[in-house]
Structure 1
Amino acid sequence: MSKQHDALAELIEPAIDSLGFELWGIEFFTQGKHSKLRVFIESEAGISLEDCEQVSRQVSSILDVEDPITGEYTLEVSSPGLDRRLFNLAHFQRFTGSKVSLKLNAPFEGKRKFVGRINGIEEDDIVLQVDEHEYLLPITSIEKANIVPEF
């Protein structure tokens, strides 16, 4: 995560925790003139629309007072969903055995995109099984990773 993401997480996580939810991750991006802050929350009991509204009100109040983001933006609060993004090492650990799609910051053995199964974690590396080949990918080399739902 970037320093801005870390600062935002540090600012809003205590409020989210106090409401009984876990901050799963944050995305901030700009499309044209519009910026969007996405906050993903998680709970063992699942996430309802009312949960998202409650967290949105609380986070919005904090962001209005602290004003950590310059310019206008839209705040969106949601559950991570079935195809949830994995933001940190703990997420990869939690989903060991799951199928993932990931994109690297730079090519590894000529490829930037991989779809495989998380076989485990070795220090700060993800062990990814792709067909008959096992890759050891540093967490810092992963630009984006999402669970691939299996039905």
Structure 2
Amino acid sequence: MSKKVTDTVQEMAQPILDDLQLELVDIEFVKEGQNWFLRVFIDSENGVDIEECAKVSEALSEKLDEADPITQNYFLEVSSPGAERPLKKKADFEKSLGKNVYMKTYEPIDGLKVFEGKLAEFDGQTVTIEMTVKTRKKRVNIPYEKIANARLAVTF
């Protein structure tokens, strides 16, 4: 069985990002309408700017053209994950302690599948969120393996 496009692109992108001291946040290969998009999301401690995105795009595009691992025509997009960055890896949760997060679980926990609040604790196995339900503050422990998706949440 051939490797997934995203895995192949990750192997190609990682050395480029390491050289530029950037972090790979996520890779998507999706079809929207008639077009395919290869989206590479990058970040760093201080965020990323358009020049860094352009450097990664140019270097990765060159590698992709040489190896030609994708049979479809596609558009390559390299960008920051934005303010509501996804939390994909355990390290993302550790770096996000004290920040507001939005999370969905595969199954209900304390009767809920959607959680929004402050990421209070993470021990590698369990995420603890401080959230307000109606007018009461509540701490909810969510097993890491039960998280379907999570992201930072911007609150106003």
Compute the TM-score of the two structures, normalised by the length of structure 1. 0.82
Q: Tell me how many residue pairs correspond in the alignment.
A: 148
Alignment correspondent of 2:149: 144
Q: Which runs of 4+ in 1 moved over 4 A?
A: none
Distance 1:128 1:69, change over 3 A: farther
Q: Which runs of 5+ in 2 are unaligned?
A: none
- Over alpha carbons, which structure has the higher Rg? 2
Q: Does the 8 Å contact 2:12/2:60 carry over to 1?
A: no
The aligned residue for residue 25 of structure 2 is 24
Correspondences of 1:3-82 after superposition (within 5 Å)? 4=4, 5-82=6-83
Q: Residues 50-129 of structure 1 correspond to what in structure 2 (within 5 A)?
A: 50-104=51-105, 106-109=106-109, 110-129=111-130
**Structure 1 unmatched ranges of 5 or more:** none
* 1:83 aligned counterpart, secondary structure: coil
What CA deviation, in whole Å up to 9, does each residue of 1:77-97 have, x standing for no partner?
Answer: 111222211121101100101
Q: Flag the 1:139–1:70 CA change in 2: closer, same or farther, 3 A.
A: farther
How big is each residue's C-alpha offset from its partner over 1:94-144, in whole Å with a ceiling of 9 and x where there is no partner?
01011111222x232343322121111123322222223322223333232
What one-letter code is carried by the residue in structure 2 that aligns with 1:8? Answer: V
TM-score, normalised to structure 2's length?
Answer: 0.80
RMSD: 2.2
